[in-house]
């Protein structure tokens, strides 16, 4: 290896990867159908090719392993002995050995030369098999996550630059388009020169016409002017022709640029089959280890996927397959008792749908015990006894994605630590995707992954927020709608918009992403609903700008992680815009809705409405808050609510209220202390405060009034009119 050209070594690794994949797939076919002569011939050709390639790069250990494998395949053709399951295992172990040899760098070659234990043991096992001696010990593929060599296929050596395989056909098309681009650009220089000549000629003639020495009485002046006008007209005609040419040139250049871009993008794409080469082997080996009969059915193998996404999908899909085999699929005996075929089926599919890549992993196993899951959640104290019974099935299934959560009672080499699904969700989110689980007891489970088609281009909805353009990935936009301002309803003091027959929290996107407040130009609000099946929010934007496909431009790493922003992009006119990090934005909106007071987004008040007196209702009971809010709103007051004393204190300091109506017993800050804080504040001490409480003893009343309350009303004694009359006595009647 010391003198070998490393470009040849890279070529060898590429060939070895393909031949090992062919060996694996053919051996799995032979395991199901030992009489399949085509699969056996394919194995012989692959082993022979690997032997020759190993010899060329000086990998003697590879030559020996491939040679004895070839001998075994020749013997199988003559049925001496046949390829039974044990010998199939032995040949698969040989494939693993060849894979490790091919991935070894020059620095490790000497180690392999000096340490031949694995190679020698394999050769001895094959020799015994060929002599018909006792069946060699069954070789099991490594199954621990850290040893998934046939899945990861990561070479030992460090690679400074990424190397991508590009077909000659793709490269030829790129070169052809690049040639067209050069031709189009070469037309620009003479074209611009002709325009400059026209400009100079036009300027000279115009100057001649304006020459004051050409008086009307001079001989020939009229002829000169006539000729000048004729030349000006000719220049105008030529200029119009040039403008037509430049329009044609612009269209052709745009078409070449588009085709060049599409071709370059196509080079980034690979078929789904390229990313799942080791999965048939994984299912086969793990099924044998667990004593289960399983077949893997793959559909959509030709589906084109971004290389980077395909690479990152290997680990999460491997976890899902292991989960299905270990957790979902039953033993043959159990399946027979349930009336199912003894051989289980796991389906793996990929397809494009509405500009999104959808990948599904489905098994026909036992499904998930929902009630057992609920009990496990209670046992781990992830939900209390009052909440757990009310959790829906989708909500319960979400717990399976938590770090460390598992339904398995014992930890094995295969699973049980509760990290698999957590890793799946994390890795899927890293590529701006989502994962969803559905299950039916006794029938199986289904994992659906929704991912972008590529990481370099993203289909987005462009909107204007605070005077700036932003892009929202369409994968996370659930709906766009125009909402009349009078349909915005205040619930819990926060705006809500109608959505799918119910209500959804509404937040001004400007409050999250910043920017200047836009003057309302339309009666209807432009609203987008973003989120996933876990949580979603409605965002009010200034206006919609349309749908675009954007080339993603990563932000400078020195900026670090920018809150709510994922990347940048350029619009058609070259102006920059930011692409929103939807997952981050949803968290920011949730915090805004929980801790701050979202901007009111309903109908802009008329002059009469602006004069309405404002009342702050503070109570930790949702029922009491809503009752008081509706009573006061119906009477013409403008009402905001706070959920406890601390929330009420923050609201009182930040708003301009005419009255505060508060309860006494509340968390964080009780009503008595709230009254004291208000009356001690120099800016608020004149603000009337009414206490409405179930405590109706005289000492309770005295305590409230001593704290500074202007009115004390017992909840148990008042009727609607009692409260309204008390409010009117303090701040006057509301407008009718």
Which pLDDT score, from 0 to 100, does residue 3 have? 45
Which pLDDT score, from 0 to 100, does residue 630 have? 82
Judged by average pLDDT, the poorest of 68-82, 284-298, 660-674 is 68-82
For the cut 50, the answer to whether the pLDDT of residue 145 exceeds it is: no
For the cut 60, the answer to whether the pLDDT of residue 141 exceeds it is: no
Confidence of residue 698 (pLDDT cuts 50, 70, 90): confident
Write the pLDDT tens digit of every residue in 175-184.
676 666 666 6
Pseudo-torsion of CA 637, 640, 641, 647, nearest 10°? -140
Write the pLDDT tens digit of every residue in 586-627.
888 877 766 555 565 655 444 444 467 899 999 888 878 888
Concatenating the DSSP letter of every residue in 41-108 gives: HHHHHHHHHHHHHHHHTT-HHHHHHHHHHHHHHHHHHTTSS---HHHHHHHHHHHHHHHHHHH--HHH
Which pLDDT score, from 0 to 100, does residue 297 have? 93
Which pLDDT score, from 0 to 100, does residue 248 have? 75
- pLDDT cut 90: percent of the chain above it: 15
Which pLDDT score, from 0 to 100, does residue 584 have? 83
Concatenating the DSSP letter of every residue in 276-297 gives: -TTHHHHHHHHHHHHT-EEEEE
| Locus of tokens 């694996």 | 24
For the cut 70, the answer to whether the pLDDT of residue 192 exceeds it is: no
Which pLDDT score, from 0 to 100, does residue 160 have? 41
728 vs 613: CA distance, rounded Å: 11
Which pLDDT score, from 0 to 100, does residue 277 have? 79
Which structure tokens are listed for 466? 């605070």
For the cut 60, the answer to whether the pLDDT of residue 358 exceeds it is: yes
For the cut 90, the answer to whether the pLDDT of residue 47 exceeds it is: no
Report the mean per-residue pLDDT for the chain. 79
Which structure tokens are listed for 332? 């043959």
For the cut 50, the answer to whether the pLDDT of residue 482 exceeds it is: yes
If you average pLDDT over residues 448-464, what whole number do you get? 83
If you average pLDDT over residues 561-577, what whole number do you get? 82
- Angle between helix axes 85-103 and 60-77 (nearest 10 degrees) is 160
Write the pLDDT tens digit of every residue in 483-536.
888 888 877 667 888 888 888 888 888 888 876 665 556 678 899 998 865 678
What is the three-class DSSP state of 664?
coil
Which pLDDT score, from 0 to 100, does residue 716 have? 64
Which pLDDT score, from 0 to 100, does residue 329 have? 92
Rg of the chain, C-alpha, whole Å:
37
Confidence of residue 216 (pLDDT cuts 50, 70, 90): low
Residues 456 and 265: beta-carbon distance below 8 Å? yes
Confidence of residue 146 (pLDDT cuts 50, 70, 90): very low
For the cut 60, the answer to whether the pLDDT of residue 582 exceeds it is: yes
Which pLDDT score, from 0 to 100, does residue 104 have? 66
Residues 672 and 664: beta-carbon distance below 8 Å? yes
Instruction: Give the residue with greater pLDDT, 207 vs 732.
Output: 732
Task: Work out whether strand 269-271 and strand 304-306 pair parallel, antiparallel, or are unpaired.
Answer: antiparallel
Strand partners, 525: 483
Q: Tell me the CA distances in angstroms from 591 to 356, 507, 596, one per residue in order.
A: 29, 11, 8
Query: Which of these, 673, 541, 530, 667, lies nearest to 599 by C-alpha position?
Result: 541
If you average pLDDT over residues 322-335, what whole number do you get? 91
Confidence of residue 695 (pLDDT cuts 50, 70, 90): confident
For the cut 90, the answer to whether the pLDDT of residue 364 exceeds it is: yes
Which pLDDT score, from 0 to 100, does residue 157 have? 40
156 vs 160: CA distance, rounded Å: 13
Write the pLDDT tens digit of every residue in 253-312.
777 777 777 777 777 788 888 888 788 888 988 888 889 999 999 999 988 888 888 888
Cis upstream peptide for 81 (omega within 30°): yes
| Locus of tokens 């119906």 | 634
**Phi, psi (deg, nearest 5) at residue 600:** -70, 135
For the cut 50, the answer to whether the pLDDT of residue 374 exceeds it is: yes
If you average pLDDT over residues 12-27, what whole number do you get? 84
| Locus of tokens 């032997």 | 51
Q: CB-based contacts of 464: which residues, under 8 Å, 6+ apart? A: 470, 518, 541, 542, 543, 545
690 vs 657: CA distance, rounded Å: 13
Handedness of CA 602, 608, 610, 614 (dihedral sign): negative
Residues 531 and 537: beta-carbon distance below 8 Å? yes
Which pLDDT score, from 0 to 100, does residue 298 have? 93
28 vs 423: CA distance, rounded Å: 29
523 vs 515: CA distance, rounded Å: 21
Alpha helices in 78-187 (DSSP H): 85-103, 106-114, 117-130, 149-152, 168-186
Concatenating the DSSP letter of every residue in 384-414 gives: -TTTGGG--HHHHHHGGGSTT--S-SS--SS
Concatenating the DSSP letter of every residue in 355-380 gives: TEEEEEEEE-S----HHHHHHHHHHT
315 vs 445: CA distance, rounded Å: 19
121-124: which pairs have CB atoms within 8 A and are 24 or more residues apart? Answer: 122/65, 122/68, 122/90, 122/93, 122/94, 122/97, 123/64, 123/65, 123/68
Which pLDDT score, from 0 to 100, does residue 337 have? 92
586 vs 476: CA distance, rounded Å: 10
As a residue count, the chain comes to: 736
129 vs 136: CA distance, rounded Å: 7
If you average pLDDT over residues 71-100, what whole number do you get? 84
For the cut 80, the answer to whether the pLDDT of residue 32 exceeds it is: yes
Which pLDDT score, from 0 to 100, does residue 541 have? 92
Cα 142 to its chain centre, rounded Å, is: 31
The end-to-end CA distance of the chain, in Å, is 95
Which pLDDT score, from 0 to 100, does residue 517 have? 60
Q: CB-based contacts of 35: which residues, under 8 Å, 6+ apart? A: none
- pLDDT cut 70: percent of the chain above it: 77
Strands (E), 610-723: 614-618, 638-642, 659-662, 689-693, 711-714
If you average pLDDT over residues 213-220, what whole number do you get? 58
Which pLDDT score, from 0 to 100, does residue 685 have? 87
**Phi, psi (deg, nearest 5) at residue 104:** -80, 135
């Amino acid at each position: 290896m010391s003198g070998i050209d490393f470009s040849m070594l890279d070529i060898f690794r590429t060939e070895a990867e393909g031949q090992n994949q062919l060996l694996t797939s053919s051996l799995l076919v032979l395991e199901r159908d030992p009489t399949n002569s085509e699969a056996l011939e394919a194995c012989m050709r692959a082993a022979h090719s690997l032997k020759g390639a190993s010899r060329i790069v000086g990998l003697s250990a590879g030559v020996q392993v491939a040679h004895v494998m070839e001998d075994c395949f020749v013997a199988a053709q003559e049925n001496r002995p046949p390829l039974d399951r044990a010998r199939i295992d032995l040949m698969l172990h040989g494939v693993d050995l060849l894979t490790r040899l091919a991935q070894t760098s020059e620095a490790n070659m000497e180690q392999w030369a000096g340490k031949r234990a694995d190679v020698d043991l394999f050769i001895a096992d094959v020799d015994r098999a060929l002599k018909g001696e006792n069946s060699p010990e069954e070789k099991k593929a490594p199954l621990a996550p850290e040893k998934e060599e046939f899945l990861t296929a990561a070479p030992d050596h460090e690679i400074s630059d990424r190397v991508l395989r590009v077909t000659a056909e793709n490269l030829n098309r790129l070169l052809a388009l690049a040639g067209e681009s050069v031709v189009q650009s070469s037309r620009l220089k003479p074209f611009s020169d002709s325009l400059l000549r026209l400009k100079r000629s036009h300027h000279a003639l115009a100057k001649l016409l304006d020459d004051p020495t050409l008086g009307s009485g001079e001989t020939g002046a009229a002829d000169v002017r006539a000729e000048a006008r004729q030349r000006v007209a000719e220049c105008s005609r030529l200029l119009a022709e040039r403008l037509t040419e430049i329009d044609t040139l612009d269209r052709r250049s745009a078409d070449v640029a588009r085709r060049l871009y599409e071709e370059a993008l196509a080079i980034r794409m690979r078929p789904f089959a390229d990313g799942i080469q080791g999965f048939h082997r994984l299912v086969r080996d793990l099924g044998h280890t667990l004593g289960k009969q399983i077949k893997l059915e793959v559909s959509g193998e030709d589906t084109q996927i971004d290389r980077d996404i395909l690479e990152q999908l290997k680990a999460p899909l491997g976890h899902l397959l292991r989960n299905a085999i270990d957790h979902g699929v039953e033993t043959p005996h159990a399946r027979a008792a349930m009336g199912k075929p003894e051989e289980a089926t796991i389906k793996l599919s990929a397809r494009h749908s509405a500009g999104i890549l959808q990948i599904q992993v489905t098994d026909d196993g036992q499904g998930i015990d929902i009630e057992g899951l609920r009990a496990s959640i209670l046992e781990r104290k992830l939900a209390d006894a009052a909440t757990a019974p009310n959790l829906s099935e989708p909500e319960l299934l979400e717990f399976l994605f938590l770090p460390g959560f598992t339904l398995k009672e014992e930890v094995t080499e295969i699973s049980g630590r509760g990290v698999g699904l957590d890793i799946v969700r994390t890795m899927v989110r890293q590529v701006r995707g989502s994962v969803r689980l559905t299950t039916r007891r006794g029938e199986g489970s289904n994992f659906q992954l929704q991912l972008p088609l590529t990481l370099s281009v993203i289909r987005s909805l462009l909107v204007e927020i605070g005077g700036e353009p932003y892009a929202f990935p369409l994968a996370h936009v659930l709906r766009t709608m125009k909402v009349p301002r009078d349909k915005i309803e205040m619930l819990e003091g926060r705006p809500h918009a109608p959505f799918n027959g119910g209500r959804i929290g509404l937040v001004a996107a400007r409050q999250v992403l910043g920017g200047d407040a836009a003057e309302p130009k339309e009666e209807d609000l432009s609203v987008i609903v973003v989120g996933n099946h876990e949580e979603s929010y409605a965002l009010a934007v200034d206006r919609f700008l349309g749908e675009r496909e954007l080339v993603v431009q990563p932000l400078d790493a020195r900026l670090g992680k920018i809150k709510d922003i994922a990347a940048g992009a350029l619009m058609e006119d070259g102006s920059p815009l930011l692409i929103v990090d939807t997952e981050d934005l949803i968290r920011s909106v949730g915090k805004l809705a929980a801790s701050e007071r979202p901007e009111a987004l309903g109908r802009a008040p008329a002059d009469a409405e602006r004069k309405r007196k404002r009342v702050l209702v503070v109570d930790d009971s949702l029922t009491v808050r809503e009752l008081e809010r509706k009573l006061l709103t119906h009477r013409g007051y403008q009402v905001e609510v706070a959920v406890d004393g601390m929330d009420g204190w923050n609201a009182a300091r930040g708003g301009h209220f005419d009255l505060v109506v508060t309860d006494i017993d509340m968390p964080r800050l009780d009503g008595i202390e709230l009254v004291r804080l208000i009356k001690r504040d120099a800016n608020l001490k004149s603000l009337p405060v009414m206490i409405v409480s179930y405590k109706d003893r005289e000492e309770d009343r005295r305590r409230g009034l001593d704290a500074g309350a202007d009115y004390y009303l017992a909840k148990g004694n008042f009727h609607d009119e009692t409260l309204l009359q008390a409010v009117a006595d303090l701040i006057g009647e509301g407008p009718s």
